[in-house]
Each structure stands twice: as structure tokens, then as C-alpha cells.
Amino acid sequence: MIQDMGGKYHHGDLRAELVRVSLDLIAERGLTGFSVAEVARRAKVSPGAPYRHFPERESLLAAAAATVACQLAEHVQSAVEAHDDPADALAAAAGAYTGYVIERRAGMNVIYAEGLQGPKHTELHEQTRRLSDQFLMLCLAVSAAPQDALELMEQLFTQAHGYGMFWLDGVFTRHGYSPAQVVQKSTAAARAVIDGHRHAASAEE
């Protein structure tokens, strides 16, 4: 609970609460609807309270983005653990990414939001590397060369994010697709890309 005691705010963990509220706000309104003032209002603290933990808007957004990257890595890991075949695991990882985007309206668009590339956002960069390395290792397992793996990773991230945004923007909902169906479609599309990538690599040998 948050209280104002003599001008001082007391909260079990106000920083964590502000990040949680930020994620909920982004899920509801997207990045364009994100503001420190609205986060403070929803967290039931004064407009200036967030600045005791985050000096400016970008710092709070970076903390939220780091949480997105961390949660995505956990979602991907859970999806991958159910598969022994490298191609199946990578396709499942892409589907897990799509599912998270649909659920939280957040993905690479939040992780790489404008203003978050500076060196001071250390936690965000560490979590981003963790997520990227996770995908890269999966791509290396089905690729002949590092450059091929990087290209495949870029394509899969782009495609998986696109499936999620098509659902959020109403394109898939107008076709009657459920989130689970969109995740299945994303996973199947990823597998098709992976198989095509493997075929192209074999043809060049």
C-alpha cells in the first residue's frame, strides 16, 4: 500500500510497482500512451514520486523494457524446453514471442524504443543481449554460418512480431482468429522459413 506520510511515500517496493504499472499501461495504450504522470496516477502516488527512482521518462521506460526482455527470454526458454529438434525449438521460440506480443503489446518495439540506446541503461542492454543470444544460439543450431544465423534471427523476429501486431491491430481478429491460432500460425510460418533457410544452405554447398 502507498501512503503519503509527511510528504514521503511509503511502498513495499515502489520501484517494482512503477515498472509493473508501466507494463500494464503499455499493454493497454501502447508506447504512445505511456507517460510518467499516468503511471503515477495509476500507482496512486504523487506526480513527482516516480522521479525518486527514475530521473526521467526514459529511465522508467528502460526499466519496463528490461522487464519485457527478461519475460520474453523466460517465455522462449519455456517453449524451447519442450522440443529436442533444433528446428522445432526455434519455431516454438518464434511462436512464444508472438504470444507475448499479443498478451503484453510489447516486444522489440519497446526494447528498442527511441531514447533507450544510451549507455546508462545497463540493465536493459544486458537483458536484450540475453534474449538476442538465446535466439542466436537457436539459429546457429540450424545454420551453417554465423552470418546466416544472424539473417535468420532477424527474419524470424520480424515475422513473429508482425503476427502479433496483426492480431493487436485487428487484422486477424476480423478473420475470427484467436490468440492461440495466431501463435500456431506464427510457429508454422517460422518453421517454413527455417526449412527454406536450410534448403537454401544445402543447395549452396
Count of domains forming the chain: 2
pLDDT > 70: what percent of the chain? 92
Radius of gyration of the chain (CA): 19
- For residues 102 and 187, state if they share a domain: yes
179, part of any domain = yes
Angle of helix 14-29 versus helix 57-80 axis, rounded to 10: 80
- For residues 131 and 197, state if they share a domain: yes
- For residues 35 and 130, state if they share a domain: no
- For residues 91 and 145, state if they share a domain: yes
Task: Provide the 8-state DSSP code for 8.
Answer: E
Give the model's confidence band at 204: pLDDT under 50 very low, under 70 low, under 90 confident, else very high. low
Put simply, whether the predicted model's pTM sits higher than 0.95 gets the answer: no
Q: What is the pLDDT of residues 172-192, one digit of tens each?
A: 999 999 999 999 999 999 999
Asked if residue 52 has pLDDT above 90, the reply is: yes
- For residues 100 and 123, state if they share a domain: yes
5, part of any domain = no
Which H or E run contains 177?
A: none
Q: What is the pLDDT of residues 81-123, one digit of tens each?
A: 999 999 999 999 999 999 999 999 999 999 999 999 989 999 9
Q: What is the pLDDT of residue 11?
A: 54
4, part of any domain = no
CATH number of the structural domain spanning residue 194: 1.10.357.10
Q: What is the mean pLDDT of residues 36-52?
A: 96
CATH number of the structural domain spanning residue 29: 1.10.10.60
Which H or E run contains 100?
A: helix 86-104
3, part of any domain = no
Q: What is the pLDDT of residue 205?
A: 56
Give the model's confidence band at 2: pLDDT under 50 very low, under 70 low, under 90 confident, else very high. very low
- For residues 44 and 100, state if they share a domain: no
- For residues 76 and 100, state if they share a domain: yes
Q: What is the pLDDT of residues 156-171, one digit of tens each?
A: 999 999 999 999 999 9
List the domain range (segments joined by +) for residue 48. Answer: 10-55
83, part of any domain = yes
Closest residue by Cα to residue 69 from 28, 33, 102, 110: 110
Q: What is the pLDDT of residue 5?
A: 36
